[in-house]
Amino acid sequence: MIRIEVRSKHGDSHLGHGFDDGPEEARGLRHCIDSAALRSVALDELERQGYGVYRELSESRAETIENIETTEPGGTDFENADEGARR
């Protein structure tokens, strides 16, 4: 099993880990993200809370999630992490 540390892009903070031993329906991938590292903001609240720049990204990700069963399998960011990031 490979455990890949997930870190924030800008602050280099530890967010959790990605693993390659997940269920087949998830292409063998699973993640464990520290809940303290997350802050959920409803799509209709993004602008008001100062996250409006992420609305388009959030909407496109929501479409991807809705269509995940009909989408061809593909890679994930942590599948392609360099060896130095794998632990």
Catalytic residue annotation: 32
Instruction: State phi, psi for 56 to the nearest 5 degrees.
Output: -60, -45
